Amino acid sequence: MKHIDLIIVGGGPIGIACGLEAKKKGVNYCIIEKGTITNSLYNYPLNMQFFSSSEKLEIDDIPFISNEAKPKRNEALEYYRRIVTSNDLNINLFEKVVTVHKEGGIFHLTTDKGHYTSSYIIIATGFYDLPNTIDIPGEDLPKVSHYYKDPHFFAKQKLAVIGASNSAVDAALECYRKGADVTMLIRGPEIGKRVKYWVRPDIMNRIEEGSIKVFYNVTINKILPKTIEICNPDGEFSIQNDFVLALTGYKPNFEFLKKIGIQLSDDQKLYPQYNNETMETNIKNLYLAGVICGGMDTHIWFIENSRVHAKTILNSISKKNDVTFLRI
């Protein structure tokens, strides 16, 4: 069993920022990531463009140069990968943390590859791994996916896109332009209010001209191999369908947090408990960083406003005197 003073769970941009800050302060640390570097970004749609400009995605004041003001997925992967490799960050990839518990002031972590002890932990696991399911019959059919990657796959197919957010709108537009017959199914009365401002006119024009069909105020009753059964204020009906992209958002792994002992709010928001000034949770020496701090409100925290968590947390850890850190 190996002891590491600080273990950072999650190798996304915020986990990387925490690793950089730990290294600068001479803390014996390790980032443990269940997938590749910035695994969530890697699994984003191939052509995704960020809402934020490149300078707002920078960490540790390392310049992020992109072809356009708002960078795309491949540029972000290049940026964060180079930070990890050029700074020789201590990161274990393709290793999943399974359990975390505390005994006598020391954390014990079990992964699918080994066991560790640690004096401090930062949870920076994001929210992209667990989709918000719609819990209807047929959601588990092979033709249904909660993730979208490449529009080419849906060419010449009848595609239903469930959702009204940025991910749903981007998928609908890209797939339409690659030859898919796209129908959007939206629970509310309109396209989401947080859709990127330069994309909104495009989707509204495509809907208005009939290139992309849309049904608002929809309840989906059942997904069948060749159809979808839905209803709206006009009644119940079905539409022909080959594939479904259920892009209804994602959520943090709350069960993981609860098993550790992190307290969550009693309402539907499931806000985790932490100190705003230090990011320390109700469990001493265990911190949260990044989007996971927002519970179900995953739009509250993102890279540009949570990158400061790294400095906040490491400053808090540095002020504690119960551990003598190894110098690296």
Q: Which residue in 252, 179, 222, 225 sits closest to 14, CA to CA?
A: 252
Residue scoring higher pLDDT (51 or 86): 86
* Residue 322, pLDDT above cutoff 60: no
Class of the 133-246 domain?
alpha beta
Residue 305: the pLDDT is: 93
Considering the domain 2-130+250-319 in this protein, what is its CATH number? Answer: 3.50.50.60
In angstroms, the Cα distances linking 215 to 172, 191, 321, 327 are 13, 11, 60, 60
Residue 51: the pLDDT is: 87
The reply to whether 2-130+250-319 and 133-246 are identical in fold is yes
Q: Are strands 235-240 and 130-131 parallel, antiparallel or unpaired?
A: unpaired
Prediction pTM value: 0.91
Provide the β-strand partners of residue 239: 228
CA dist 119 and 218 (Å) reads 50
The long-range contacts involving 102-106, CB below 8 angstroms and separated by at least 24 positions, are: 102/261, 102/283, 102/286, 105/284, 105/285, 105/322
CA dist 224 and 240 (Å) reads 10
* Residue 324, pLDDT above cutoff 80: no
* Residue 296, pLDDT above cutoff 50: yes
Compute φ and ψ for 245, nearest 5 degrees: -110, 105
Q: How deeply is 196 buried, as exposed, middle or buried, from its count of CB atoms within 10 A (0-12, 13-18, 19+)?
A: middle
CA dist 241 and 224 (Å) reads 9
* Residue 325, pLDDT above cutoff 50: no
Residue 129: the pLDDT is: 84
Mean pLDDT of 64-92: 96
Residue scoring higher pLDDT (184 or 299): 184
Of the chain, the percentage scoring pLDDT greater than 90 comes to 92
Which stretch of 24-33, 197-206, 298-307 has the lowest confidence by average pLDDT?
A: 298-307
* Residue 327, pLDDT above cutoff 60: no
For residue range 140-175, list pLDDT tens digits in order. Answer: 999 999 999 999 999 999 999 999 999 999 999 999
> Domain locations in the chain?
2-130+250-319, 133-246
For residue range 95-111, list pLDDT tens digits in order. Answer: 999 999 999 999 999 99
3 state DSSP class of 267: coil
Residue 286: the pLDDT is: 98
Q: What is the DSSP string of 149-191?
A: --GGGGTTSEEEEE--SHHHHHHHHHHHHTT-EEEEE-SSSSS
Residue 321: the pLDDT is: 56
Q: What mean pLDDT, rounded, does the chain reach? A: 94
For residue range 234-269, list pLDDT tens digits in order. Answer: 899 999 999 999 999 999 999 999 999 999 999 999
Residue 221: the pLDDT is: 97
Residue 1: the pLDDT is: 82
